[in-house]
Every structure is written in structure tokens, then in C-alpha cells.
Amino acid sequence: MRYSLLAGGKRVRPMLCIAACELVGGDPLTAMPAACAVEMIHTMSLMHDDLPCMDNDDFRRGKPTNHIVYGEDVAVLAGDALLSFSFEHIATATEGVSSDRILRAIGELAKCIGSEGLVAGQVVDICSEGADVGLDHLEFIHLHKTAALLEGSVVLGAIMGGGSDEEIEKLRKFARSIGLLFQVVDDILDVTKSSEELGKTAGKDLVADKTTYPKLLGIEKSREFAEKLNKEAQEQLLEFDQLKAAPLIALANYIAYREN
């Protein structure tokens, strides 16, 4: 559990969670357990996705994947334990938030993981390898596989921070846009950068014959689409205090212009 959780990574989801909490006027400490929880979920999803029976990846965040080091059995179980611990941590370590709100956050987190979230995206993705897939289908995959947990991250932060339903909805839309943005950029990086630059195996999508934005739109149109998504995301933040929105704007730009 520690090996994969502490292997580095960009920590985009915890940052989103804490930034959303502060945006709605909350104390960032109230969102800290939720921020850790979303990173645990992200990590466990990578551990399971990397398994030989799924993406069969032996290199992640610049290090051998969990099952390479500890074996497949332990990698499955450590992922399960991280998944349950994420809920335990929110339920027992969150301070200064009403039980009603913590419970709502737990429901939101759970929903973004399972058959309406991450898992839905991964299953459809697996079933689509080698298939002739259109843009709508690709968007379904990314909205679930990638955007769902980013959405969960900002929603949990906003819930812990005491955000209104209206604020939470705006942040939901923001997260869905940057979720797609994140994946479009990932697809572009996969075909334009080396394994060394990425810290993970490059060109995997081509090898697996996966449908990607560059494959459907070409690199240039994919870059334009990324710009459009970044703009749409930032429009959701216009009615918030711009000083407090600055970290989320910076994160959107970081996702849009990241190099690995």
C-alpha cells in the first residue's frame, strides 16, 4: 500500500480537493482526509489497471509496478485495502465537518469509483480494444475512467468546505471538462513523448491499438480540443472570487500544458 501510494505522482486529485474546499471558503484542513482518500483511490485504480490481466504494465511513476515487486496476489489485495481505507480515513479522520456532510461525501466518492464511475470506464475501455470506436464512445470512457474521480475530488473538497449546491454543480462541470482535458493531453503525450520523459511506457496506446483523440482527430485538432476544454473549464470559475479561484485556474493550465 505504501509502495504505490508514496511512489510519487502529480497529486492532481488531492490538490483539486483542497483547492475546491478553499474556493468555497472552507478550512483546507477539513478536506485533508478526503484529499488523501482520493489519492488512495487513484493509486488503487492504477495498481489494478496495471495487473497482467488488464493493461499489463510493469513500469509506473518511474518505478516497477506493484505486482512486479510484490506479486499479483498482494497487488490485488493492497488495492482492495487502499479502497476500503480511503472510506475509513474520511469517516474517522475528518474534523470540523458535520456527519451529514461527511456522509454525503462518502456517497459521492463511492459513486465515482464503481459501476457508474471508474469501473464503468475501465470495463468499456477494456471491451473497446481493437474496436472501431467513435468520439462519443471515447468520451464515455474518459468521463468515467478519468473525469469521475477528478469530479469526485472537487466535489468532496467543496462538500467538506461547506459549499452550496450551486457551487458544487459549477465545480462538477469544471471537473468534467478538465477530466476530458486531462485525457486528451495524456493521449497527445503518449504519442509525442518518450518513456523516459513520461516516467511510464510511451506509445502504449498505439501498441494496444487503442482509440485515442490523436487517432480520431489528429494531433493538431486534439490540441485545439484541449484548448477548448480548458476554456470551458475556466468559465465555470468566473463567478467565484478570482483570488481563491487562482489555484484551480493554475491546475487547469498545468493539466493543459503539462509535459509528462
Residue the block writes with cell 504519442: 191
**Residues in the chain, overall count:** 260
Q: If binding is defined by CB under 8 A, does position 239 make contact with its own copies? A: no
Q: If binding is defined by CB under 8 A, does position 106 make contact with its own copies? A: yes
Tell me how far, at minimum, the Cβ of 248 lies from its own copies, in Å: 26
Q: If binding is defined by CB under 8 A, does position 204 make contact with its own copies? A: no
- The CA-CA-CA angle for residues 190, 193, 195, to 5°, reads 85
Q: Which of 6, 53, 131, 208 binds its own copies (CB under 8 A)?
A: 53
DSSP per-residue string spanning 154-217? HHHHHHHTT--HHHHHHHHHHHHHHHHHHHHHHHHHHHHS-HHHHTS-TTHHHHTT---HHHHH
- The CA-CA-CA angle for residues 153, 60, 125, to 5°, reads 65
Q: If binding is defined by CB under 8 A, does position 68 make contact with its own copies? A: no
Q: Which stretch binds its own copies (CB under 8 A): 115-123, 155-163, 178-186, 193-201?
A: 115-123
Q: If binding is defined by CB under 8 A, does position 195 make contact with its own copies? A: no
Q: Which of 98, 164, 195, 242 binds its own copies (CB under 8 A)?
A: 98
182 neighbors 121 (Cβ within 8 angstroms) = no
Q: At what angle do helices 148-160 and 165-192 cross, to 10 degrees?
A: 150
Q: Which stretch binds its own copies (CB under 8 A): 3-11, 95-103, 159-167, 233-241?
A: 95-103
Q: If binding is defined by CB under 8 A, does position 122 make contact with its own copies? A: yes
Q: Which of 27, 62, 64, 80 binds its own copies (CB under 8 A)?
A: 80
Q: If binding is defined by CB under 8 A, does position 83 make contact with its own copies? A: yes
Q: Which of 7, 68, 110, 191 binds its own copies (CB under 8 A)?
A: 110
Q: Which is nearer to its own copies, 31 or 106 (CB)?
A: 106
108 neighbors 28 (Cβ within 8 angstroms) = no
DSSP per-residue string spanning 229-260? HHHHHHHTTTTS-HHHHHHHHHHHHHHHH---
* Strand 59-60 to 63-64 pairing: antiparallel
Q: Which of 79, 157, 163, 214 binds its own copies (CB under 8 A)?
A: 79
Q: Which residues contact 114 (CB under 8 A, 6 or more apart)?
A: 120
**Contacting positions for its own copies (CB under 8 A):** 1, 44-45, 48, 51, 53-54, 71-74, 76-85, 87-88, 91-92, 98-100, 102-104, 106-107, 109-111, 113-115, 117-119, 122-123, 126
